[in-house]
Amino acid sequence: MDKARSHRLTLAVWFAVAALSLATALQAQTPPPPPIMLGTAWYPEQWPESRWDADLTLMQQAGIHMVRVGEFAWSRMEPREGNYDLDWLDRAVAIGAKHGIYTVIGTPTAAPPAWLTQKYPETLRIDEAGHRVEHGNRQQFNFANPKYRELARKIAEQMAKRFGHNPYVLGWQIDNEYQDISFDPDTKMQFQQWLKVRYGTLDNLNARWTTAYWSETIFDWSQIPIQTQYGNPGLLLAWKRFVSDTWRSYQKNQLDVIRANSDPKQFITTNTMGWYDGFDHYVVEKDLDLASWDDYVGQGHLDPARNGFAHDLTRGFKGKNFWVMETQPGSVNWAPVNNSLDKGEVRAMAWHAVGHGADVVSYWQWRSALNGQEEYHGTLVGADGTPVPFYAEAQQIGQEFAKAGPALAGTSVKSEVAILHSYDSRWAIDWQRHNTNYDPAVELVSYYGPLRAVSQSIDIVEPVAPLSQYKLVVAPGLNVLSDAAAKNLIEYVRHGGHLVLGQRSAMKDEDNGLRPQRQPGPLADLLGGRVEQYYALVDPVAIEGKFGPGQSKLWAELLSANDKDTEVLETYGKSNGWLDGKPAAITRRVGKGRITYIGAWLDGSVMTAAAKWMGEVSGVKPALGKVPDGVEVYPRYGDQGVVYILVNFSKVEQTVALPSAMNDVLQGGSKQSVKLPVYGVAVLSK
């Protein structure tokens, strides 16, 4: 090695060591971020640097301690291939730090620059109709394309090397809202290869997909098509699983290089979209440190049950607290009617999120862009740079987060009740609803709302998750039941748990084929009964029994009770002749455990009574005790005890009597009861 080269190498090592030493010193001087934070999406690349300080000053005055930056700025970061410009982002992070504001950096791969897609047109995705998507929007990339992944990895590596040890960078968001996929020939070949690895032989695939039906037998892997809506159920499910694995590998392509160049204290996440089911989030989230999602109401007003389910679903991806990476500051721009949420409703929505386990609530976006597709979206600051009316409400939230932060530090959600959620099952029902109004998401919420009123806390977990900590596990619409999940549920019941199966459960195997046993398949012996037949309903059917009189709408399953220990809970009234007088819900004790099957789609009052019965027989009690209808209770537990967050979503003022005197964290003092106006919030600690 010549002396000059040796000298350059020595200098490079010296600079690297010096940079690491400086980062370590800075980290020691950097205060920890607040335990509960208010944040916003900031786009410094859209504004002159002379404006940055004014924006950050307004953020600081609003109690904002976190900004997400960079996720759409690829053209600014790499204006030409291999020519990286991150100095401006370094300055943005630094000036944020001067205002006590931490940064989450988004990799910009959801919005590739024009030079990239022009030079490498194969990186543009092809939609299902066969059209190549063009530049001028976002998410126009092909998630399976090797060249795109190579370029995405390179920009992520440059960013990680630059910011991976910056103490004011809390973590990383990979890409943005995974959604659009490609149907190009190369992706199709990758799918066929994926199937070959999964099934091994065509004989195995043909047998498991029952391809003798309609002469669908496959004789060569290249004959397998992509189908997304109407096709062989095994093929439909396999494509969704391939998409999930492909998003996971797309993500891991960037994740690995970020991890290799960043401090372990920096988390890695991606922002998902709540109820969105384009892929299996349990698969995609496996490699991440933190779950986060984008919480939008759109048109109308917050539905605490549907929105609460999405929070709990997200928390269940990693089994720990999560972030709301984006939420609306009043209104959006993409709904049919982009109404603004009521005054006070956004504050209630923020505490609703924290109650479900969010440690950060971040608004999209800070300031109105002067142009672009989302000019009309809600903000905290207008295009003129001055606060909009919502800014004052955000400021109140920021002040309250700061006040309640010490009490909530280190707390998390714990539940006695779990609802099982399965993307396989949601997809399977959606492809073959049998009743056009049978929405699997609506079915889940129909159980979730009443059960949450009973328990005041629910976990949403996948069917193979550990269940021993729960007194009650409810599985509405668990249509696809794998052998592993069946074994998990059987063990749960035999060890003393109470399992409740909802309508359409345990009909399919893991390849989306009908099980040879009647529902609930491998759980039938445990139940001491089965589903004799299912009926899509044109008109509601009367039901009566332990849960009181009511109706079954959309769907009814005729059950039989074959064991002397199996109890009939509800029966059908006069209907189509087949259902008349037949069991609609049955239950059976199994040692210290219990298994229940509900074959009717219960209406509101009957489901409320059913949820109360489930709680009573399972020993589930509300965390804070009885509260008025419309008041939500969210317990968060920590080493110092429990903190209760209360939010009034009813349309009138409510008074909540407390079981014992509690400390009012926001207002101060010890309280035996609290008054909550409409959208009112209380944070209480023992």
Distances (CA, A) of 373 to 368, 369, 370: 11, 9, 10
pLDDT digit string, tens, across residues 303-359: 999 999 999 999 999 999 999 999 999 999 999 999 999 999 999 999 999 999 999
- Give residue 16's pLDDT: 47
Q: Residues for the chain: how many in total?
A: 686
Could you count the other beta carbons within 10 Å of the beta carbon of residue 563? 14
Task: Please tell me the distance from the alpha carbon of residue 647 to that of residue 682, in angstroms, as a whole number.
Answer: 7
What three-state secondary structure class fits 410?
coil
Token reading at 408: 């909530």
DSSP 540: -
Cβ-based burial of 483 (10 A; exposed 0-12, middle 13-18, buried ≥19): exposed
CA distances in angstroms from 56 to 40, 102, 122, 262, 385, listed in the order given: 11, 11, 40, 26, 11
pLDDT of residue 136: 86
660: nearest Cα among 674, 646, 671? 671
**Mean pLDDT to the nearest integer, 270-281:** 98
State the CATH architecture for 417-618.
3-Layer(aba) Sandwich (3.40)
Contacts of residue 478, defined as CB under 8 A and 6 or more positions apart, other chains included, come to 420, 422, 425, 463, 485, 501, 502, 504, 505, 506
pLDDT digits (tens, 9 = 90+) for 563-599: 899 999 999 999 999 999 999 999 999 999 999 999 9
The token duo for 373 is: 């597709």
Q: What is the pLDDT of residues 106-163, one digit of tens each?
A: 999 999 999 999 999 999 999 999 999 999 889 999 999 999 999 999 999 999 999 9
State the virtual CA torsion across 467, 469, 470, 475 in degrees, nearest 10: -10
Q: Are 349 and 385 in contact (CB under 8 A)?
A: no
pLDDT of residue 7: 54
Q: Which CATH architecture has domain 631-685?
A: Sandwich (2.60)
pLDDT at residue number 391: 98
Region label for 586, one of left (φ > 0), alpha (ψ between -120 and 50) or beta (otherwise): beta
* 295/312 Cα distance (integer angstroms): 12
Q: Which residues pair with 498 in a beta bridge?
A: 472, 594
pLDDT at 2 over 80: no
454 pLDDT exceeds 90? yes
Q: Are 52 and 44 in contact (CB under 8 A)?
A: yes
Residue range 636-651, pLDDT digits in tens: 999 999 999 999 999 9
pTM: 0.95
- Give DSSP secondary structure letters for 341-359: PPTTHHHHHHHHHHHTTEE
pLDDT score at 343? 97
Strand stretches in 70-140, DSSP E: 102-106
The verdict on whether omega for the bond into residue 179 sits within 30 degrees of 0, i.e. cis, is: no
Q: By the 8 A CB rule, do 361 and 355 touch?
A: no
Question: What are the residue ranges spanned by the domains of the chain?
Answer: 1-30, 35-184+251-401, 417-618, 631-685
Residue 640 to residue 455: CA distance in whole angstroms? 22
pLDDT at 9: 47
∠ CA 234-235-236, nearest 5°, is: 95
Q: Among 337, 336, 353, which Cα is nearest to 302's?
A: 353
Tokens of 538: 């044109």
Mean pLDDT of the chain: 95
User: 219: number of CA atoms within 13 Å, CB side?
Assistant: 1
> If we measure between CA atoms, which residue out of 415, 438, 453 comes closest to residue 608?
453
**What's the pLDDT at 29?**
83
DSSP state of 32: P
How many percent of the chain have pLDDT more than 70?
Answer: 96
CA nearest neighbour of 460 among 609, 619, 264, 291: 291
- Summarize the confidence of residues 245-266 as an average pLDDT: 98
User: Is residue 49 annotated as a catalytic residue, yes or no?
Assistant: no
What is the torsion angle, in degrees rounded to the nearest 10, for the CA atoms of residue 345, residue 347, residue 348 and residue 349?
90
- Please identify which of the residues 71, 177, 345, 416 carries the catalytic annotation: 177
Task: List pLDDT tens digits, range 103-113.
Answer: 999 999 999 99
Burial 488-525 (b: 16+ CB within 10 A, else e): bbbebbeeebbbbbbbbbbbbbbbbbebeebbbbbbbe
d(CA 475, CA 659): 32
CA 656 to chain centre: 31
Same fold, 417-618 and 631-685: no
DSSP H helical segments within 456-603, as ranges?
483-494, 524-527
Query: CA–CA separation, 426 vs 292, rounded Å?
Result: 21
Catalytic residue among 78, 157, 326, 632: 326
Strand order in the sheet with 169-173: 267-269, 169-173, 102-106, 64-69, 37-41, 358-363, 322-327, 292-295, 271-272
Q: How far apart are CA 589 and CA 568, in angstroms?
A: 12
Strands 641-648, 600-602: parallel, antiparallel or unpaired by DSSP?
unpaired
User: Could you tell me the CA-to-CA distances from 634 to 3, 371, 457, 463, 684 in Å, in that order?
Assistant: 67, 40, 7, 24, 10
Say how far apart CA 167 and CA 97 lie, in whole Å: 9
Neighbours of 221 (CB within 10 A): 15
Residues 372-411 pLDDT 10s: 888 899 999 999 999 999 999 999 999 999 999 999 999 9
532 is known as an active-site residue? no
- Are residues 382 and 388 in contact, defined by beta-carbon separation less than 8 angstroms? yes
The helix or strand, by DSSP H or E, that contains position 421, with its residue range, turns out to be none
Helices (H), 556-647: 604-618
HSE of 294, CA atoms in CB hemisphere, 13 A:
18
**Mind listing the pLDDT tens digit for each residue in 494-549?**
999 999 999 999 999 999 999 999 999 999 999 999 999 999 999 999 999 999 99
Q: What is the CATH code of the structural domain delimited by 35-184+251-401?
A: 3.20.20.80
Q: Token pair 């989030």 is at which residue? A: 281
Kindly give the residue spans of alpha helices, DSSP state H, lying in 200-344.
202-209, 233-260, 281-284, 304-318
- What residues contact residue 514 under an 8 Å CB cut-off, 6+ apart? 507, 508
> Do 235 and 199 contact (CB within 8 A), yes or no?
no
Cβ atoms of 440 and 554 closer than 8 Å: no
What would the mean pLDDT of 431-444 be, rounded to a whole number? 98
